[in-house]
Amino acid sequence: MGSPLIRRSAVFAATIGLILITVAGASPGINAATPTAAAPWLDKGQPIQARVGALLDRMNTREKVGQMVQINTAFPLTDAWMQQALISDGAGSLLSGGGDVPSPNIPNSWASNINKIQQYAVQNSRLHIPIIYGYDAVHGNNNVLGAEIFPHPIGLGATADAGLVTKGGAATAKGAQAMGIRWTFAPVLEVSRDARYGRYYESFGEDPILDSVLGAAAIKGFQGNDPSHPIIAATDKHFAAYSQPIAGHDRTMAEIPMRYLQETFLRPFKAGVDAGVATAMANSASLNNIPVHASHYMLNDVLRNQMGFSGLVVSDWQDVFALNSSYHIAATDADAIRIAVMAGVDMTMCQDVDFGTKFVNGLLADVNNGSVPMSRINQAVRRILTLKFQLGLFDQQPYPQVDPQAADATVLNNPMDVALARQAADESMTLLKNATVKGQPALPLAKSNKIVVSSTSVQDVPWAAKPAPIAQNLADQVGGWTLGWQGADGGGEGCCTNPASDPSNGNKLPGETVLQGLQSAVQGHGGTVTWADPAAAPAAAASADAAIIVVGEP
C-alpha cells in the first residue's frame, strides 16, 4: 500500500428503516449454510470455476460492481458503517491501512472485529458473499501490538537466506489467518537502486536476481505450497519500477528505457508470477509519462500476456481517483474509474466509505453509458470471486470465522516465531570490517569493557515531538510499517499521529532500545555502558575501551 494522503472523513449514517428493508430484501430462496439448487456455488464438490460461474450468473450489476471496491475500515465498527460499506456499497474487500487498528490493538480484537464484519456481510447480503480482509504484513504482523516482527525486507536481503524468508512468511501467514486476515499487500518486488527513495527498506535490495529469489520465497511462505489454495494471498507490488523515481520521492515519475525495465525491474515480478502469486498491486506513480493505473500496456500486455499472470490486480491507496485529482488525465472521478478499469485494475482501494460509494456510483454510471462493458466487469469479478473460493471463504458456514482466543495464542509470544525472528535479526547483521586494534580484532567486545554509546536524534520528522536519540528510540529502531505506516511515531505526510502507539491509550511498543540491550548484555560481568551526547562523545570515548555510534534514519 502507498502513502495515506488523506484519512477518513465522516462515516455515513444509515437509518434503522434502511437496515430493516435491506435485511428483509435478502433472497429467501438461498440458505447461506447449505448448497441447494438455488446456491450451487456452495457445493464444495464442484470445481472452483464452476462455482464462480454459478454465483456470477446470479449477481446483478450493482453486486458485481461492489465486489470491485476495497474500503478502509473505520474502527470502532458501527452497524451504520457496515450497512453502508458492506450492503449499500457491497464491498468485496476491506483493509486496514497503516495505523487503522481496532482498540485494543491485540489479536483477539482483530479476530472479533473481522468475525463481526464477515457475519454482517454474509447474513445481510442477498447472495451471502464474504469479504476478503487485507493489510500490509511487511515484516511480520506488524500492525498488531506485541506481535513478533522480522527485519524489514532490506534486512532479509542481507541474509540472502531464501529458506529463512519462507519460514518468516509462513509464520506471518499463520498469525494473519488466525485473526481472519487473508490477504497481505506484500512482498515488495521492487529493485531499489536509488538511496534517496524513501521506501528503499521495503525492497530486498538492488540485485534483481536476489530480489527474484527472495520474493518467490516470501510468496511461498505466505501462500503455502499450493497456490490454488493459499493460506493468505500475497501481492506482487508495486508493479512496476516504483522504486526508481527520477526525483527520488515516493509516488513520482520514473523514466526507464524498456530494455533496462525488462532486464532489471520486471525480473522479480516475473519470478513472483512463476511462484503463483495471487494478486498484483499497480505502481502508484507514472512510468515513462503514463500513470501505471492507466496503462493497459503494463497491466495487460506485460503483466498478463508476457508474464502469464492470472490473478486480480488491485490499485494502491486512492490511486484510481488520483488519475483525476493528481494526474489530471480524467475529467471526472467516473472517467478516472473508467480509465483504470479498462486499463486492467480489477479492484480499487479506497481510503474510506465515502470514496467506496463514489467508486460504486461512478462505475455504475460507466456501465450504464456503455463506456465500461459488462464483459470487463464480469472478467474482474470472476478474478475476485476465484480468489475468495481459493481461500475457502465460502466453505466455512454460516460465515468465515476464527477463534479470538486462539488468535492471541498464535500471534503473541509464540516461542517458535520469537526464535525465528531472532535468527532473522542475527543473520541480517552485516559486518563490513573488523579492524585490528592494538594487535587484536575490535570485535567481539568483552562484557567487562567500559563502553560509551552515542547517537544523534532524528530532527526532521514533523509528527515526532522531541524525538529521542536513535540509540534510545525504539520507534526508529523498528522502522516504518510498525503499528503505523511511518512507524510507531506517526502516520505519514505529516497528516496524523498513530493512536496505536500512544501510551495514553494503554499501548506501549514492547522491546529494548540499542542502549538498553547493551546495558543488559554487560550487567553482572563487570562492564559498563554509558550514554554520551554527541558533543561529549569524543571526550568520553577517549577514556573508554570502545565507543558505539548508532546511526540510521526514521
Question: Tens digit of pLDDT for each residue in 5-52?
Answer: 333 333 323 332 323 233 333 444 455 556 677 899 999 999 999 999
For residue range 322-347, what is the model confidence (pLDDT) as tens digits?
999 999 999 999 999 999 999 999 99
Give the Cα separation of 54 and 77 in Å (integer).
Answer: 32
Same domain membership, residue 330 and residue 448? no
Same domain membership, residue 334 and residue 298? yes
pLDDT at 89 over 80: yes
Same domain membership, residue 462 and residue 389? no
Out of 410, 444, 464, pick the residue that ends a domain. Answer: 410
With the CA atoms of 255, 242, 425 and 473 taken in that order, what torsion angle do they form, in degrees rounded to the nearest 10? 100
Catalytic residue chosen out of the listed positions 316, 333, 366, 417? 316
Could you tell me if residue 220 is inside a domain? yes
* Band of pLDDT at residue 486, cut at 50, 70 and 90: confident
- CA distances to 151, 222, 365 from 420, in Å: 11, 15, 51
For residue range 266-278, what is the model confidence (pLDDT) as tens digits?
999 999 999 999 9
User: What is the grid cell recorded at 25?
Assistant: 430484501
Residue 73 contacts residue 100 (beta carbons within 8 Å): yes
Could you tell me if residue 422 is inside a domain? no
Out of 354, 375, 410, pick the residue that ends a domain. Answer: 410
In percent, the amount of the chain with pLDDT more than 90 equals 77
Out of 410, 442, 457, pick the residue that ends a domain. Answer: 410
Could you tell me if residue 421 is inside a domain? no
Mean pLDDT of the chain: 89
Same domain membership, residue 444 and residue 392? no
3-state DSSP helix/strand/coil percent for the chain, to nearest 5? 40, 10, 45
Number of independent structural domains in the chain: 2
pLDDT at 4 over 50: no
Same domain membership, residue 394 and residue 513? no
For residue range 230-241, what is the model confidence (pLDDT) as tens digits?
999 999 999 999
- In terms of C-beta distances under 8 Å and separation of at least 24 residues, what long-range contacts does 16-25 make, across chains too? 18/83, 19/79, 19/83, 22/83, 22/87, 22/88, 22/124, 23/123, 23/124, 25/126
Could you tell me if residue 289 is inside a domain? yes
**Per mean pLDDT, which range of 13-27, 54-68, 284-298, 395-409 is the poorest?**
13-27
Same domain membership, residue 261 and residue 202? yes
User: Which domain covers residue 198, as residue numbers?
Assistant: 16-410
**Per mean pLDDT, which range of 301-310, 374-383, 544-553 is the poorest?**
544-553
Could you tell me if residue 8 is inside a domain? no
Could you tell me if residue 2 is inside a domain? no
Residue 403 has a pLDDT of 98
CA angle 207, 211, 217 (to 5 degrees): 150
Same domain membership, residue 276 and residue 146? yes
Phi first, then psi: give them for residue 524, nearest 5 degrees.
Answer: 85, 5
Same domain membership, residue 435 and residue 372? no
Same domain membership, residue 148 and residue 263? yes
Same domain membership, residue 405 and residue 449? no
- Containing 384, the helix (H) or strand (E) segment is helix 374-390
Give the Cα separation of 497 and 503 in Å (integer).
Answer: 12
For residue range 431-464, what is the model confidence (pLDDT) as tens digits?
999 999 889 999 999 999 999 999 987 655 454 4
For 77, other C-beta atoms within 10 Å of its C-beta total 17
Catalytic status, residue 417: no
Same domain membership, residue 349 and residue 264? yes
| CATH value at residue 395 | 3.20.20.300
Could you tell me if residue 423 is inside a domain? no
Could you tell me if residue 363 is inside a domain? yes
Same domain membership, residue 406 and residue 435? no
Residue 404 contacts residue 111 (beta carbons within 8 Å): yes
With the CA atoms of 239, 53, 390 and 36 taken in that order, what torsion angle do they form, in degrees rounded to the nearest 10? 160
Instruction: Provide the whole-model pTM.
Output: 0.89
Phi first, then psi: give them for residue 298, nearest 5 degrees.
Answer: -70, -45
Burial label, 368 (beta-carbon count in 10 A; 0-12, 13-18, 19+): exposed
Residue 24 has a pLDDT of 34
